[in-house]
Amino acid sequence: MNLLRPFPIIAFLLLGLLFFNSCNQSEKKAPKITKDSLKRRSIKDWNKTIPGNFNSEQELFFDTLQLESFITAHPLLKEYTASIQKFYSNRHFAFAWYNKNGLIEQAGNLTDRVKNLKDEGINKDIPYRASLDSMIYAKSTKKPNIELELMLTAQYFVFAKLAWEGMDASISKSSEWFLPRKKIAYDAYLDSMIKSPAKFAGTTVAPVYRQYDLLKNFLIKYRELEQNDQWQPIVADKKSYKPGDSSAVIAQIKTRLFKLEDFKGDTTDTHYNDEFLLAVKQFQERSGMPADGTIGPGTLTELNTPIKKRIRQLLVNMERSRWLPVQIDSSYLGVNIPEFKLHVYHADSLLWSGNVVVGQSIHKTVIFSGDMKYVVFSPYWNVPTSIVRNEVLPAMRRDKSYIKNHQMEITGYSGGLPVVRQKPGPKNSLGLVKFLFPNSYDIYLHDTPSKSLFGESSRAFSHGCIRVEDPAKLAAFLLKNNKGWDDNKIKTAMNAGKEQYVTLKKKVPVYIAYFTAFIDRNNRLNFRKDIYSRDEPLANMLLKEE
């Protein structure tokens, strides 16, 4: 992720999807959009292709009994009754998809979109597809048809739920995804599009976290690859390939990298040249590997990953994108666990990124969010009970000087166990500073004396907390609104050997997410290993109807 322009939340945090071109737009200036009409969110955050150029003249009306009859005749749409009712109540039951000239163009655009849900990564079909087809393609669409009018609106809400909202919240929770699910008033969104259509002509922004549309574009490409290429495994004829080497296998790898859009040169050339080196490094980088240019077993394994598996990754991460908040206007931090990266944003603009160490598979870092409130310089480390029981006590039995040698102290006893803390200093397991956003999971960000771990390509080593590579830089960012905290003062506090809490003048949101496929700021598709084995269960739920 990169949480990417990647994340930003996570900005892991807004592109998007759906709004139609209007061929007969009036040159008249669109009316001003007010906060009231947009309600919770600016219209720029929404997808403009579905509503497009609706009828705002409100010349044609129907009554609520006709809506009740429609739902009775179409029970599979019953769950959308409240949304449809609210939408039409706000417009006094005026037709939306018809004007005095007949059915508007956007009706066909919506129909095309909802009938092709597979392009949205949805493995379902819309209810009453045949009925919609027969009505929308009828010989005459001039005369208002209340059934088609209500069917189109109902299908809009079907699409919003499937493509924008995603699976039920119980599914995300079962996936141990505790980030807040987005909340959007889709009826208000549709209504605002109807009232001011011209203002949004030609835009393509959806009410979905921007990674969704970026991933969607690659989903289409990868499905084309699956259809048109056998993707047979490339078999090496030597242990590795480096610049200057020559082999028929190199030509095969060039062909594959060409299809993956990393290489643009001659795919028949069997020599490992400079142009090929750049392509290999790019592929390795977006695969989360050391970009050294050497093609060994690891790189070949990534090259040979079946397209079907990659498509499953794209579908899973598109679904996760549906769950995230669409946009955040303030500064915030985003951590993408499988990427082992911290991303620092301001209003969805990526400021900088840094390496992090996350929890081991047996000590998973939790997917959740919180508000950063404190920076703690020269911190004590209050050793968790589980670590005291499983690690400290056995070490104390082996070495009576263990507590002293590790700058620890026992401050009391609880439940038959010593209460242990480690004193501030360069050997402290939390390093010289920690960053607290109070939460029930007891997870926070902190420095570490084990700097060498940041050089590893896979960095799942902690007990669940997140170790940051450049803690001084992060402290400076968080304390930018606290007067007097320049680089020198931060450095002094980090090395003071005395614990000091600093309360942030302005809390900073923190989002810890889990994306194994994402688009980086260079518009390149990245894949990462599913270190916590969270992809397959979700993929199976998404594709269970296949």
- Whole-number Å distance between alpha carbons of 531 and 456: 15
Q: Which of 23, 92, 406, 446 is catalytic?
A: 446
SS3 of 228, please?
Answer: helix
- Whole-number Å distance between alpha carbons of 393 and 412: 14
CA–CA distances in Å: residue 492 to residues 449, 485, 500: 17, 10, 11
- Whole-number Å distance between alpha carbons of 86 and 81: 8
The tokens describing 266, both together, are 């001659």
- Letter for the amino acid at 485? W
User: In the annotation, is 465 catalytic?
Assistant: yes
Place of tokens 């009740």: 68
What is the 3-state secondary structure of 34-73?
CHHHHCCCCHHHCCCECCCCCCCCCCCECCHHHHHHHHHH
User: In the annotation, is 446 catalytic?
Assistant: yes
Helices (H), 245-326: 248-259, 274-286, 297-303, 307-323
Angle of helix 146-159 versus helix 81-90 axis, rounded to 10: 120
Q: Which of 74, 92, 346, 465 is catalytic?
A: 465
Contacts for 247-251: CB closer than 8 Å, 24+ residues apart: 250/276
SS3 of 366, please?
Answer: coil
DSSP state of 164: I
CA–CA distances in Å: residue 414 to residues 389, 390, 403, 419: 12, 15, 17, 7
Which residues are tagged catalytic? 446, 465
